[in-house]
Amino acid sequence: MDYKFLKIENEGGITTLRISAPKSLNALNSTILKELGDFVENIGSTTRVLIITGDGEKSFVAGADISEMANLNEQEGYEFGKLGAKVFRAIELLPIPVIAAVNGFALGGGCELAMACDIRIASAKAKFGQPEVGLGIIPGFSGTYRLAKLIGQGYAKEMIYTGKVIKADEALRIGLVNAIYEPEQLMPAAVEMARKMVACAPIAISLAKQSINENYDLDATASLELENKLFGKCFATKDQKEGMAAFLEKRSANFIGE
């Protein structure tokens, strides 16, 4: 599929995906969401780490496309929300690490897209928010779920009920992002983090991600049992044998993803 709104680069197992709709500050319309869904479905085995960012200097994703949403009826609104939620869930469930390099505005659907990624790092100029109530709607791409999980119900309710937009330093303080960089340092930092992940055992990372994601909604007993099972599965891989042999032999490991 040829993409109108996605720019994709791959080097050394690291794929960088830029959402590019400059006239709307990369706002998400149904076409962009479908392109994202197709990309995720067909990402391929050459990608070990995915970095998602926005094209340009101003915006990661400025929200969902209000011009498309304005005249939707109840059923159409439901379908549009379901499309976004499905795509973001597919990103969350990718068996590889996904880094959001938030280069500017991450509002509404943009904040929700960032939260679907495993790790968020931000430009010092980035701004985050779920301002939907000011438009007469609520977050529709899983924002009420993920924001509360990431920063707690108190902060999440304050952000959503007031629609306030926060700067990168506050996003760092409340745990919405992992780190802040000067704009010119953001992508190099994302790539450096990705390279560290590429150097590690891919099956182990995938199983660790599965354990963390599925533990979201389990009680302690079920969570620990899941972790134990996935821990055990690591010992059926060649990478585990190689990693521990390399450690004991005081050399660098050569992981092959098997």
Please list the active-site residues. 112, 132
**Contact in structure between 100 and 121 (CB atoms under 8 Å):** yes
Whether the CB-CB separation of 35 and 7 falls below 8 Å is answered with no
Pairing of strands 165-167, 105-107: unpaired
Please give the helix or strand (H or E) that residue 111 lies within, else none.
helix 109-116
Under DSSP, is residue 129 helix (H, G, I), strand (E, B) or coil?
strand
CA 164 and chain centroid, separation: 22
Q: How far apart are CA 161 and CA 159, in angstroms?
A: 6
- Asked whether 123 and 146 are in contact (CB, 8 A), the reply is no
Q: Which of 83, 85, 100, 94 is nearest to 41 (CA)?
A: 94
